[in-house]
Chain A
Amino acid sequence: MRKVFKLDEIDCAVCAGKLEEAIKKLDGVQDAKINFLTQKLTLEAADEDFDAVLESVVKLTAEVEPDCEILR
């Protein structure tokens, strides 16, 4: 499943790139893309554990970029 989320307060392009790399390394994430300009996160994961993966993505984001929030 592929879903797009709005990222709030992502202010720096380098940070966006780093966050994208970090999310890609998470278990269960098939693909992740962060578009810095449109402030969007595209997350791809298997249907059955999408919610769990999203949960870990949110947790990771809070760690790496505390200012940035994933709007669900």
Chain B
Amino acid sequence: MNKKQKKWLKRILLALAIFFTVMALDEFGVLAGIFGEPGALYASFALYLIPYLIAGHDVLLKAWRNIRRGEAFDESFLMAVATIGAFAMIFFPDTEPHMAEGAAVMLFYQVGELFQSYAVGKSRKSIAAMMDIAPDYANIERDGALVQVDPDEVQIGDIIVIKPGERVPIDGIVVDGASQLDTAALTGESVPRRADEGDEVISGCINMTGVLRVRTTKLFGASTVSRILELVENASEKKAHTENFITRFARVYTPIVTFAALGIAVIPPLLGMGAWPDWILRGLTFLVVSCPCALVISVPLSFFGGIGGASKLGILVKGSNYLEALSEVDTVVFDKTGTLTNGTFNVVAIHAEGGVDPDYMLSMAAHAEAFSDHPIAVSIKEAYDGVIEQGRVEQAAEESGHGVAATIDGREVLVGNDKLMAAHDVSWNDCKITGTILHVAIDGSYAGHIVIADVVKDDAEQAISDLHAAGVERCIMLTGDRDEVAHAVAKQLGLDEYHAQLLPGDKVEQVERILETARGNLAFVGDGINDAPVLTRADVGIAMGAMGSDAAIEAADIVLMDDKPSNIARAIRVARKTMRIVHQNIVFAIGVKVLILALAAVGIANMWLAVFGDVGVAVIAILNAMRAMSVKRD
């Protein structure tokens, strides 16, 4: 509790103590004994005013100020009218007095307001703690000594020093040192990342083991950590439909209830349907429940909590509207390369034939490709364990589009596709495994083949089954790759549909076609590179692998910091949970209020119940909203 809240609490406790004393004096007939029959009534009126004013003078003042500025329909105004009205009941000679109720309503209201203020402060604090990934300083070497400076002052190209236990303040490249980095705050991933000389380091990570000297590549304001914080903070400005609904609802609800209160207080007694005091009291009870505070605070708080919770998992949501849209996704469209697969070629099989040693064949192929930078050549060289001795290669010539012909250790080596084999009159065998097949021939006779393919990510299969479990009806893959490759991947991962051999432009068209048949929302998942048009066309664009990639952060609505597709199902679960909480709060708050209004209209609900309907409901809704913040990794 802060200072203001403590003072507030003391005031309420004092008022409560006086209130109960007066109540006891009244109940046990002490007042009647001293002041006589009608005198006791006026005495208790005056005495109840004391706790009322102690607890509520600020509310009355605020109400007065608002009236003077022409602002009615404000919470304090309504409370003031309701409680003053309760006290004024004394002027109806034949009615039960309601001073105790008037004072109690004000007290109860203040208790609720204090609790509400406390709960809001508490959730603000946990949001702040969640976003406490911004570094306060950067170490710079000046005249041989380390100086701590404001990260804002560091220029691009400066060398900063990051000691173990410190947070990387600014994005940059390691020029000296090696260490393990804890990226959990950014990606939610608990396995540390290695950083060696020449590696890029991202601000917001924690340096765990060694001292790093880093040459900065960005200004602090443009660094990953600053961008993430800005994004999450501004996310609440892009309002969800539900939030806009609440704003509109609040705008009409209060005036309607206030006029209804006036109608109830005046019309029935005018028509001779009962006594004035009864109906006025019912009207006043109406006023107490007329504030939509429970909704106005708890709904944005739930969204903010959901967005904050998701960011703990390395899922950045750029606005409440996207969180809402994500919760209604029933179709997920994936780009294949880089999203479901690693996007790099790997040797997946080596089939040597005719008694040739597979290792020898691979070594020959690697040497033949020694001078090539083609992705396929690179993958073969990576698969080869040994050292490539360029001296063994006497001659190597690329046969464009077909492969390579080389002379290694005096032997003629051919590495390439069917056409290369055909051109050199070598007969070859095909392979059942899908992928790019490289045949190898040594001295004119077939030695076997090497299969190269893009490998699916470790968690891709899990990602698809998680999505299905989360109620996503269709998982569809789009790829520019050949049909056989796409078919194999789709079957392996359990995808519902795939569309292969698409040109980049076809993807937008394909997504539009799928959009027509989708009942819920459509999410497109890509790596953020080259798929900006598709990302914007989909209801929700998700970019992944965005650690340090500006393009991806720019293009998408939701950004996954690491490149794990399994985070998509997690994001959907967070979105659904948030929306569940939002809907619970709306139904609960409106339901209770309408119920109390109905009961008050027929004279069953009293003012006590009405105060619960106002502040009690608000507090419960806030506590419920705070649940949106807690997310589990699974």
Does A37 lie within 8 Å of B4, measured CB to CB?
Answer: no
| CA–CA, A58 and B233, complex, Å | 23
Judged by a CB distance under 8 angstroms, whether B75 is at the interface is: yes
Which of A13, A18, A64 sits near B300, CB closer than 8 Å? A13
Judged by a CB distance under 8 angstroms, whether B120 is at the interface is: yes
A40 to chain B: which residues have CB within 8 Å? 233
| CA–CA, A14 and B296, complex, Å | 7
Q: A14-B296, A18-B71, A37-B304 are in contact. Are A9 and B4 (CB under 8 A)?
A: yes
Judged by a CB distance under 8 angstroms, whether A36 is at the interface is: yes
Q: A13-B297, A13-B300, A14-B293 are in contact. Are A37 and B124 (CB under 8 A)?
A: yes
A37 to chain B: which residues have CB within 8 Å? 123-124, 127, 236, 300-301, 304
User: How many residues of chain A are within 8 Å of chain B by beta carbon?
Assistant: 18
Judged by a CB distance under 8 angstroms, whether A1 is at the interface is: no
As a 0/1 sequence over residues 233 to 251 of chain B, the CB contacts with chain A under 8 angstroms (1 = contact) are: 1001100000000010010
As a 0/1 sequence over residues 27 to 38 of chain A, the CB contacts with chain B under 8 angstroms (1 = contact) are: 000000101111
A18 to chain B: which residues have CB within 8 Å? 71, 74
Judged by a CB distance under 8 angstroms, whether B630 is at the interface is: no
| CA–CA, A4 and B66, complex, Å | 27
Minimum Cβ distance to chain A for residue B267 (Å): 29
Judged by a CB distance under 8 angstroms, whether A51 is at the interface is: no
A39 to chain B: which residues have CB within 8 Å? 124
As a 0/1 sequence over residues 94 to 138 of chain B, the CB contacts with chain A under 8 angstroms (1 = contact) are: 000000000000000000010011001001100100000000000
Which of B123, B237, B250 sits near A33, CB closer than 8 Å? B237
B296 to chain A: which residues have CB within 8 Å? 13-14, 17
Task: Give B4's nearest chain A residue, CB to CB.
Answer: A9
Does A35 lie within 8 Å of B293, measured CB to CB?
Answer: no
Does B4 lie within 8 Å of A13, measured CB to CB?
Answer: no
Minimum Cβ distance to chain B for residue A72 (Å): 18
Q: Which of B389-418 contact A (CB under 8 A)?
A: none
B124 to chain A: which residues have CB within 8 Å? 37-39
| CA–CA, A56 and B48, complex, Å | 41
Judged by a CB distance under 8 angstroms, whether A11 is at the interface is: yes
B123 to chain A: which residues have CB within 8 Å? 37
Minimum Cβ distance to chain B for residue A37 (Å): 5
Minimum Cβ distance to chain B for residue A4 (Å): 9
Does A13 lie within 8 Å of B293, measured CB to CB?
Answer: yes
Q: A36-B300, A37-B300, A38-B127 are in contact. Are A12 and B293 (CB under 8 A)?
A: yes
| CA–CA, A37 and B301, complex, Å | 7
| CA–CA, A12 and B74, complex, Å | 11
| CA–CA, A67 and B124, complex, Å | 18
Q: Which of B152-210 contact A (CB under 8 A)?
A: none
Please name the 8 residue pairs, one residue from A and one from B, whose CB atoms are nearest each other, closest first.
Answer: A13-B297, A13-B296, A11-B117, A37-B304, A14-B296, A38-B233, A37-B124, A35-B236
